[in-house]
Amino acid sequence: MSVITPIHRDPRVQRSLENLRRSGFNVRLVVDSDDKALLLVDTDSILKKIERGIEYPHKRIKLVDKYIVIEVFRSVSRQR
Protein backbone atom coordinates (compact mmCIF):
# COMPACT_ATOMS: atom_id res chain seq x y z
CA MET A 1 0.00 0.00 0.00
CA SER A 2 1.39 3.41 -0.93
CA VAL A 3 1.57 6.26 1.52
CA ILE A 4 0.17 9.56 0.30
CA THR A 5 2.53 12.45 0.88
CA PRO A 6 1.01 15.64 2.32
CA ILE A 7 0.55 18.23 -0.41
CA HIS A 8 2.96 20.71 1.19
CA ARG A 9 5.75 18.14 0.85
CA ASP A 10 5.01 17.46 -2.82
CA PRO A 11 8.14 18.29 -4.85
CA ARG A 12 6.08 20.33 -7.34
CA VAL A 13 4.76 22.55 -4.56
CA GLN A 14 8.26 22.92 -3.08
CA ARG A 15 9.71 23.82 -6.52
CA SER A 16 6.93 26.35 -7.08
CA LEU A 17 7.69 27.93 -3.72
CA GLU A 18 11.41 28.14 -4.51
CA ASN A 19 10.75 29.51 -8.02
CA LEU A 20 8.62 32.31 -6.60
CA ARG A 21 11.26 33.12 -3.99
CA ARG A 22 14.05 33.12 -6.59
CA SER A 23 11.97 35.52 -8.65
CA GLY A 24 12.09 37.96 -5.74
CA PHE A 25 8.69 37.40 -4.19
CA ASN A 26 8.14 37.10 -0.47
CA VAL A 27 6.13 33.86 -0.19
CA ARG A 28 4.77 31.90 2.77
CA LEU A 29 3.40 28.38 2.78
CA VAL A 30 0.42 27.83 5.06
CA VAL A 31 -0.68 24.23 5.54
CA ASP A 32 -4.42 23.82 5.91
CA SER A 33 -4.50 20.02 5.81
CA ASP A 34 -2.69 17.11 4.16
CA ASP A 35 -4.70 17.86 1.02
CA LYS A 36 -4.67 21.66 1.02
CA ALA A 37 -1.99 24.33 1.38
CA LEU A 38 -1.86 28.02 0.54
CA LEU A 39 1.00 29.89 -1.09
CA LEU A 40 0.73 33.48 0.16
CA VAL A 41 2.57 36.11 -1.87
CA ASP A 42 3.19 39.44 -0.13
CA THR A 43 1.83 42.22 -2.37
CA ASP A 44 4.71 44.51 -1.36
CA SER A 45 7.16 42.10 -2.96
CA ILE A 46 5.12 42.14 -6.18
CA LEU A 47 5.09 45.94 -6.23
CA LYS A 48 8.85 46.09 -5.57
CA LYS A 49 9.54 43.68 -8.42
CA ILE A 50 7.45 45.79 -10.79
CA GLU A 51 9.18 48.96 -9.58
CA ARG A 52 12.61 47.49 -10.35
CA GLY A 53 11.44 46.87 -13.92
CA ILE A 54 10.45 50.48 -14.58
CA GLU A 55 13.36 52.59 -15.76
CA TYR A 56 11.75 56.03 -15.49
CA PRO A 57 13.26 57.70 -12.39
CA HIS A 58 10.14 59.49 -11.06
CA LYS A 59 7.45 56.96 -10.28
CA ARG A 60 4.94 55.87 -7.67
CA ILE A 61 3.42 52.42 -7.54
CA LYS A 62 0.39 51.49 -5.48
CA LEU A 63 -2.32 48.88 -5.21
CA VAL A 64 -5.84 50.22 -5.76
CA ASP A 65 -8.65 47.68 -5.65
CA LYS A 66 -7.64 45.00 -8.15
CA TYR A 67 -5.22 47.23 -10.07
CA ILE A 68 -1.56 48.02 -9.68
CA VAL A 69 -1.31 51.71 -10.51
CA ILE A 70 2.01 52.99 -11.84
CA GLU A 71 2.28 56.77 -11.89
CA VAL A 72 5.18 58.35 -13.79
CA PHE A 73 5.79 62.06 -13.54
CA ARG A 74 8.30 64.79 -14.24
CA SER A 75 10.33 66.08 -11.33
CA VAL A 76 8.79 69.01 -9.44
CA SER A 77 11.55 71.42 -10.51
CA ARG A 78 10.65 70.98 -14.21
CA GLN A 79 6.89 71.44 -13.78
CA ARG A 80 5.74 75.05 -14.32
Instruction: Give DSSP secondary structure letters for 3-29.
Output: PPPPGGG-HHHHHHHHHHHHTT--EEE
Q: Count CB neighbours of 39 within 10 A.
A: 14
- Measured CA to CA, the distance from residue 48 to residue 54 in angstroms comes to 10
| Average pLDDT of the chain, as a whole number | 92
pLDDT per position in the chain (80 positions), as tens? Answer: 678 899 999 999 999 999 999 999 999 999 999 999 999 999 999 999 999 999 999 999 999 999 999 999 998 765 54
pTM greater than the 0.85 cutoff: no
Report the phi/psi class of residue 76: left, alpha or beta, with left for phi > 0 and alpha for psi in -120 to 50.
Answer: alpha
- Measured CA to CA, the distance from residue 73 to residue 79 in angstroms comes to 9
What was the pLDDT predicted at 48?
93
Give the whole-number percent of the chain exceeding pLDDT 90.
Answer: 88
